[in-house]
């Protein structure tokens, strides 16, 4: 098994076939630009332009929909669930009939998933209400977060991107490094999507729910969005450097971020440090927490005794880890998805300020610095 598969495993599910393409131009005076150009521009740039290609599938358009699939292919965003319909029109339709307090959540997968890969399509696995796979690593995120086919449950958007290197001969180190760079570009596209939602529904907050390398996508989008209203961000086993998260919080200092960690993910934090491109001397990972405390950043370590008491006071309980080493327990462990659902739907219980008061500082664990002899960082 290649080293990169430690992060991924194999996911054998069906691919959503592409049958039709349409162009939709959005921006000032109808001008057009690739998503890739947004990554090079200033985050304060007011004019946003994007090329959107819509494709249809064999599935018929549903009159009732609470789940929307959006994919990034190279520099093009695609809507998987609305045949021959511009993405902006689909969003406008769905947002217009949402109850005022219904949540909007963008889900972001991690390493080794891609909407272009038949066996790893997140729209048919993690993002589906009924996943087309019985693989033990696959579990429906929308259903776990309380979504269904009814618009009254909110709008759940699956954001798919190419989460692995584009070259078949890549080594594990190069494959992950390329995926890491691709995650940054995907963050620029996510920012564009968030801005589009804000143009249609400027009063609505959008929550972000990300796993693994999807945390880099989420944090990049958080830092780059100009108009987007970000409600809460949940990062599960985030594969990113702590100083990148700190930079994002400087741009969005009042956005609550829930950084979920676990002892069973320590090895993957170490692998991230080994295979991800270095960005200067700052090598601290999200698993070790931020370099400095932040009032809207909460570290939730599933294996800390203090967290168990905090969750119990709010009617939540996390089951034991399935394995001493596991990167997928963040959504597979008993009680994890009900916890995330509560954070997003019972918001008054989970304000970072209140969690900071409840958390005993003597038990707030900081992960030790991680080292793996014999391996050098990229």
Q: Which residue segments constitute the domains of the chain, with CATH numbers given?
A: 15-363 (3.40.50.1820)
What's residue 289's pLDDT? Answer: 83
What are the beta bridge partners of residue 78? 71
Of 32-36, 55-59, 272-276, 353-357, give the range with the top mean pLDDT: 272-276
Strand order, beta sheet including 21-26: 21-26, 50-55, 76-79, 67-73, 155-160, 104-108, 206-211, 230-236, 257-261, 297-301
What's residue 232's pLDDT? Answer: 98
Any idea what the Cα angle at residue 232 is, between residues 230 and 237, rounded to 5°?
120
- pLDDT by residue (tens digit) across 26-42? 333 333 334 444 344 44
What's residue 167's pLDDT? Answer: 59
Percent of the chain with pLDDT over 70: 73
| Contact by Cβ (8 Å): 106, 92 | no
CA distance 247 to 136: 36
What's residue 325's pLDDT? Answer: 93
| Residue 358 banded pLDDT, cuts 50, 70, 90 | low
Average model confidence (pLDDT) for the chain?
78
What's residue 77's pLDDT? Answer: 83
What is the average per-residue pLDDT within 227-249? 95
What is the average per-residue pLDDT within 243-260? 93
- pLDDT by residue (tens digit) across 56-94? 333 433 434 578 999 898 887 877 766 467 778 888 888
What's residue 281's pLDDT? Answer: 61
What is the average per-residue pLDDT within 184-210? 96
* Burial state string for 66-100 with b = 16 or more CB within 10 A and e = fewer than 16: bbbbbbbbebbbbbbbbbebbbbebbeebbeebee
What are the beta bridge partners of residue 160? 71
């Amino acid at each position: 098994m290649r080293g990169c598969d430690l992060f991924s495993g194999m996911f054998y599910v069906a691919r959503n076939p592409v049958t039709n393409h349409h162009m939709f131009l959005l921006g000032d005076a109808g001008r057009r630009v690739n998503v890739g150009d947004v990554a090079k521009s200033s985050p304060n740039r007011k004019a946003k332009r994007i090329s959107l290609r819509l494709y249809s599938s064999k599935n018929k358009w549903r009159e009732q929909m609470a789940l929307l699939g959006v994919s990034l292919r190279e520099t093009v965003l695609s809507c998987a669930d609305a045949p021959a319909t511009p993405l902006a029109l689909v969003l406008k339709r769905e947002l217009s009939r949402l109850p005022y307090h219904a949540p909007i959540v963008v889900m972001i997968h991690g390493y080794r998933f891609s909407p272009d890969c038949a066996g790893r399509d997140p729209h048919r696995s993690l993002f589906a209400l009924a996943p087309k796979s019985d693989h033990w690593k696959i579990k429906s995120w929308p259903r776990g977060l309380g979504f269904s086919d009814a618009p009254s449950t909110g709008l759940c958007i699956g954001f798919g991107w190419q989460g692995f290197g584009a070259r078949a001969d890549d080594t594990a180190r190069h494959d992950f490094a390329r995926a890491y760079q691709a995650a940054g570009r995907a963050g620029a596209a996510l920012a564009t999507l968030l801005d589009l939602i804000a143009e249609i529904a400027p009063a609505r907050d959008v929550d972000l729910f990300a796993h693994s390398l999807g945390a880099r996508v989420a944090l990049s989008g958080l830092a780059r969005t100009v108009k987007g209203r970000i409600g809460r961000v949940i990062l599960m086993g985030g594969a990113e450097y702590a100083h990148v998260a700190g930079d994002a919080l400087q741009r969005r200092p009042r956005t609550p971020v829930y950084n979920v960690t676990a002892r069973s993910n320590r090895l993957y934090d170490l692998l991230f440090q080994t295979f991800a491109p270095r960005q200067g001397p700052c090598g601290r990972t999200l698993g070790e927490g931020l370099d400095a405390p932040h009032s809207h950043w909460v570290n939730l370590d599933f294996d800390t005794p203090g967290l168990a008491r905090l969750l119990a006071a709010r009617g939540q309980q996390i089951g034991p880890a399935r394995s001493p080493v596991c990167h997928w327990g963040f959504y597979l462990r008993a009680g994890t998805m009900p916890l995330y659902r509560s954070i997003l739907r019972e918001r008054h219980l989970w304000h970072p300020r209140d969690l900071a008061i409840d958390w005993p500082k003597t038990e707030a664990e900081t992960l030790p610095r991680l080292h793996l002899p014999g391996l050098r960082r990229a």
